[in-house]
Amino acid sequence: MQYRDWPVLVTGAGGSIGSALTARLLDLGARVTGLARSEESLIRIPEGAHRVLGSITERATLAHAMTGVDTVFHCAAHKHVGICEANPTEAYYNNVFGMMQTLNSARAAGVQQFVLLSTDKAYKPTSVYGRTKRECEELMFHAEFANPKIVRLCNVLGSSGSVIPLWKKQMMAGGPVLVTSDEATRYFITMPVAVDFLITSLDLHGIGPHIPHGIEPTRIIDLAHATIGSRLIDIEITGLRPGEKLHETLTDEL
């Protein structure tokens, strides 16, 4: 695939995954427009991208951001399980209605390729966040693009939703490190793997959902012990929070 001067829009480009994806696309020589909903997140968009301030729920903003764009990477979403559980109306408005607006604007702008960043929580969802992303996946099957893709990622280490930055703050305060369950497992990938998989998903067959393969589940408590290392920090088991599963499942089933 030719990346030089590739006209791309990244929604949610001020987030941890969106900004890393934007930086990688810029390194490849793409012409990137980054859309972010707040000034704080707009500043986090890497230098070299065309920065657009606005929300995916605003049609005029989307129309401006998609001018001349060939490919959209839709990363914008409310992603924190607990916050979405406590604010379901806003979660659905931003994630589902925002997805509808983005799809409609992309079709109107003549976008050829559309990649939806989804989550393993969309498989048999038990949380508000998971259900919103499942609905976004279903919308993709009615999308009229030459090359639409659904990419389901698991927990991305180093992202804003990753538990490790939270644990490090707890460790800085002397502990304890909070873990939901000593039995809970999750799938983890690194940020570079996540970003490269998003880009190369355009070369995969079919709409998906596409998932990274070869990843084994990890017990959260084992990751906590590895993060603590030799430090004398206690671990406290808090119990699963509303919407959380004991075990996430990586699957390509819708």
pLDDT in tens, 171-206: 999 989 999 898 999 888 999 999 999 999 999 999
Say which amino acid occupies 130.
G
Alpha-carbon gap, residue 87 to 167, rounded angstroms: 24
The secondary structure of residue 97, as a DSSP letter, is I
pLDDT digits (tens, 9 = 90+) for 83-121: 999 999 999 999 999 999 999 999 999 999 999 999 999
Does 48 reside within a domain? yes
162 pLDDT higher than 80:
no
Give me the active site residues, please. Answer: 121
Q: What residues make up the domain containing 114?
A: 7-154+189-213
Calpha distance 114→194 (Å, rounded): 17
Rounded to whole angstroms, how far apart are CA atoms 242 and 38?
A: 28
CATH number at residue 21: 3.40.50.720
1 domain-assigned? no
- The label of the residue with tokens 């997140």 reads 41
Would residue 139 count as lying in a domain?
yes
Does residue 251 have a pLDDT over 90?
no
Q: What is the pLDDT of residues 214-233, one digit of tens each?
A: 888 889 999 899 989 988 89
Contact 35, 9 (CB under 8 A): yes
How far apart are the C-alpha atoms of 182 and 166, rounded to whole Å?
Answer: 17
* 238 part of a folded domain: no
Is 227 within the bounds of a domain?
no
Q: For residue 18, is it within any domain?
A: yes
Residue 249 lies in a domain: no
Domain count, the chain: 1
Query: What does pTM read for this prediction?
Result: 0.92
Q: Is the residue at 173 inside a domain?
A: no
